[in-house]
Amino acid sequence: MKSREASAPMELFYWGELIYKMKITGPLRIAYNSLLTAKLRFFLTVLGIIIGVAAVIMVMGIGASAQGLVLSQVKKVGSDLIAVLPGASEESGPPASAFGIVTTTFTYSDLEKMRERRYAPHLEVVSGYVSGSATLESKRESYEVSYQGVSPDMIAVESLDLEVGRFFLAEEETDLSRVIVLGATRAKEFFPNGDAVGQTMKLNDLPFQVVGVLSERGSTAFSNPDTLVYVPLMTAQKLLLGINYLNFARAKVDDVANIERSRADVTALLRQEHDLEDGEEDDFSVRSTAAALGILTSITNILKYFLIAIASLSLLVGGVGIMNSMLISVSQRVREIGLRKAVGARPHHIITQFLIESVFITLCGGILGIIFGVGLTYVASIIIVKLGYEWEFMVPLVSLALGLGVSFVIGLVFGVYPALKASRVSAMEALRNE
């Protein structure tokens, strides 16, 4: 007992000298030294923040790249197009057909009216569309394919080119001609030697003659013309699908400046054709590419922010881990805290020290999380490009700032309670218990 009492002044002097040196080197040095004494706990604590920040970086990077891909695909279709879809919708929302609702009010007679310049003088070319899937067979191969019934003007509407052969003639749109045009990929699958034109194929067990092959185009918007096959519009309606309505129509406008005028013209025309009274809701939707871009941007932003919110939950879990680690640190450093108070440290000094340690941990995790997040996003972009998508590696600068900012805030918020608990440690009680 005597030796313990004799050593107390020397121990107090030792801790006083150490703390004085720590004041010289600064609170960060104290934080660094204290964390080095528990490396494994430090690593496990930081791991939660690393995972959370990396997840946020990946979601924001991949989300921005995916949004760019979708919007670039829509832009490929052209900014001088309008589309007519069956079913009513809000101006800023998707049409009913996007939810799988079948509306039969948009017909071929509407398409013919749209082609008359007196009703819509700025529409250069118009094409109707119907879609389906069936088995396409040649003498050697058989594949399940998606096909579209289209008008002869479709190739001009979508700015497609022919590799060989021809597209449909005007009379073939309505005379139930059994002719077919293959996308570039389908032509290579069935006729690798390039001898598709003139061949006879069976679509849904009906014989069709191949009259043309489209040049390779790649994916545009939500379809890939390379993998599609095309038949005349009424041939698809009557012989393949057994319907008398259109899925949608597209029209090319003579000038981008006339987009809104053309939308208004088509809307007035279709309301008249469908006998809609004033105040009665449209049973169709007329959209432009620009409007589609705005809607897609809104939708992809909502999805992106939702995924960011989900990823951020892991940061909250990491914050709880920080608090738990700091509470353990407080319980293990009661003697140190007591001695610091005994040589003059105020409660706000203790609070500041533990907050600095908490923020130091989270910022370390944030920096490592950014590095891992950027690296994983880059690896993901390489994989996606190899899968054949026109993917651009993107990491928004705001995501990097967000990663560091959130790390700092989590360090402060989840370090407050342990810091307050440490500041309330009694110097006398700490030294007496030891």
Q: How far is CA 370 from CA 32, 349, 356, 396, in A?
A: 21, 31, 21, 12
First to last CA, the chain: 13
At residue 409 the predicted structure's pLDDT band, cuts being 50, 70 and 90, is confident
Same domain assignment for residues 140 and 57? no
Same domain assignment for residues 372 and 422? yes
How remote is the C-alpha of 219 from its chain's centroid?
17
CA–CA dist 413, 171 (Å, integer)? 73
% pLDDT > 90, the chain:
33
Least confident of 140-144, 153-157, 292-296, 318-322: 292-296
Chain segment 45-67, per-residue pLDDT in tens: 788 888 888 888 888 888 888 77
Token digits of residue 352: 């500041």
Same domain assignment for residues 127 and 39? no
Of 230, 250, 282, the domain-final residue: 282
CA–CA dist 243, 315 (Å, integer)? 54
Residue 422 has pLDDT above 90, yes or no: no
Least confident of 24-33, 79-88, 206-215, 316-325: 24-33
Same domain assignment for residues 349 and 426? yes
CA–CA dist 434, 431 (Å, integer)? 5
Cβ(326)–Cβ(358) under 8 Å?
Answer: yes
Q: What H or E segment, with its residue span, contains residue 368? A: helix 347-386
Amino acid at 158: E
Q: Per the domain annotation, does 84 fall within a domain?
A: no
Q: Per the domain annotation, does 91 fall within a domain?
A: no
- Looking at residue 1, its pLDDT comes to 44
- Looking at residue 298, its pLDDT comes to 72
Residue 70, C-beta contacts closer than 8 angstroms, at least 6 positions apart: 296, 300
- Looking at residue 208, its pLDDT comes to 97
Q: Per the domain annotation, does 265 fall within a domain?
A: yes
Q: What H or E segment, with its residue span, contains residue 214? A: strand 206-214
For residues 364-369, average pLDDT: 88
Q: Are strands 123-137 and 142-150 parallel, antiparallel or unpaired?
A: antiparallel
Of 239, 260, 282, the domain-final residue: 282
Q: Which residues of 342-364 are buried (b: 16+ CB within 10 A; e: fewer)?
A: bbebeeebbbebbbbbbbbbbbb
Cβ(136)–Cβ(186) under 8 Å?
Answer: yes
CA–CA dist 408, 212 (Å, integer)? 62
Same domain assignment for residues 136 and 255? yes
Q: Which of 57, 38, 64 is nearest to 368 (CA)?
A: 57
Chain segment 222-275, per-residue pLDDT in tens: 578 899 999 999 999 999 999 999 999 999 998 888 888 999 999 999 999 999
Q: Per the domain annotation, does 232 fall within a domain?
A: yes
Token digits of residue 320: 């709880």
Query: What is the DSSP code string of 95-153?
Result: -GGGGT------BHHHHHHHT-TTT-TTEEEEEEEEEEEEEEE-SS-EEEEEEEEE-TT
- Looking at residue 273, its pLDDT comes to 92
Same domain assignment for residues 274 and 360? no
Cβ(412)–Cβ(355) under 8 Å?
Answer: yes
Same domain assignment for residues 68 and 117? no
Higher pLDDT, 42 or 434: 42
Same domain assignment for residues 140 and 246? yes
Q: Per the domain annotation, does 122 fall within a domain?
A: yes
CA–CA dist 160, 30 (Å, integer)? 68
- Looking at residue 2, its pLDDT comes to 44
Higher pLDDT, 291 or 197: 197
Q: Per the domain annotation, does 110 fall within a domain?
A: yes
CA–CA dist 65, 43 (Å, integer)? 32
Mean pLDDT highest for which of 30-39, 83-92, 209-218, 307-316?
A: 209-218
Higher pLDDT, 413 or 97: 413
Least confident of 35-39, 166-170, 194-198, 293-297: 35-39
- Looking at residue 15, its pLDDT comes to 45
Q: Are strands 179-182 and 228-232 parallel, antiparallel or unpaired?
A: antiparallel
Write phi, then psi, for 423 (nearest 5 degrees): -70, -20
Q: Per the domain annotation, does 36 fall within a domain?
A: yes
Same domain assignment for residues 66 and 121? no
Give the structural domain span for 140: 104-282
Token digits of residue 137: 């067979």
CA–CA dist 52, 48 (Å, integer)? 6
Of 256, 282, 308, the domain-final residue: 282
Residue 96 has pLDDT above 70, yes or no: no
How many structural domains compose the chain?
Answer: 2
Q: What is the DSSP letter of 231?
A: E
Higher pLDDT, 162 or 392: 162
CA–CA dist 404, 364 (Å, integer)? 9
- Looking at residue 303, its pLDDT comes to 75
Q: Per the domain annotation, does 254 fall within a domain?
A: yes
Same domain assignment for residues 68 and 210? no
Same domain assignment for residues 116 and 14? no
Q: Which of 299, 283, 221, 291 is nearest to 263 (CA)?
A: 291
Q: Which of 182, 191, 195, 189 is nearest to 231 (CA)?
A: 182
3-class state of residue 401 by DSSP: helix
Token digits of residue 10: 């020397």
For residues 95-104, average pLDDT: 67
Its sign, for the CA torsion 107, 109, 110, 114, is: positive
At residue 364 the predicted structure's pLDDT band, cuts being 50, 70 and 90, is confident
- Looking at residue 19, its pLDDT comes to 46
Same domain assignment for residues 259 and 376? no
- Looking at residue 205, its pLDDT comes to 92
